[in-house]
């Protein structure tokens, strides 16, 4: 037990020393003008390289991912129809579908399903 503790302490000390040395000896400069500007074959950029991110597109992708996961959760429910009690299956399926419908209703009320603005 003593040997394991000693090895653990030595490992932590050596890793901390290596991390400290790598931070102090690295030659990174975060305020370098060349690193902050985009590369366009040696020429100065003609326009701003950073395009504003569409928040609406991000929300649509999140909605798609949520419903994609929900489809993956619905598929085993179909398989469980043969192996479980019918009343328990109906209650579980009904509860799950109500949650999905409430989610769609909430997104519809928040105007998240409108694709064009």
Q: Please, how many CA atoms are within 13 Å of residue 116, restricted to the half-sphere of its CB?
A: 0
Q: What is the dihedral of CA 42, 47, 49, 53, to 10 degrees?
A: -170
pTM, to two decimals: 0.46
Residue 38 lies in a domain: no
Report the share of the chain in percent with pLDDT over 70. Answer: 76
What is the number of structural domains in the chain? Answer: 1
For residue 7, pLDDT beyond 90: yes
Residue 48 lies in a domain: no
Domain that holds residue 94: 56-109
Ramachandran quadrant class, 23 (left: phi over 0; alpha: psi -120 to 50; beta: rest): alpha
92-116 tens-digit pLDDT: 889 988 988 898 888 888 887 776 6
């Amino acid at each position: 037990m003593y040997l394991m503790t000693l090895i653990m302490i030595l490992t932590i000390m050596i890793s901390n020393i290596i991390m400290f040395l790598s931070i102090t000896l690295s030659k990174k400069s975060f305020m370098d003008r060349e690193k902050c500007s985009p590369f366009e074959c040696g020429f100065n950029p003609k326009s701003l390289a950073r395009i504003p991110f569409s928040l609406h597109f991000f929300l649509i992708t999140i909605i798609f991912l949520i419903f994609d996961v929900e489809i993956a959760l619905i598929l085993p429910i179909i398989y469980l129809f043969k192996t479980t009690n019918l009343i328990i299956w109906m209650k579980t399926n009904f509860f799950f579908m109500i949650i999905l419908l409430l989610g769609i209703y909430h997104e519809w009320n928040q105007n998240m399903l409108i694709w064009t603005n």
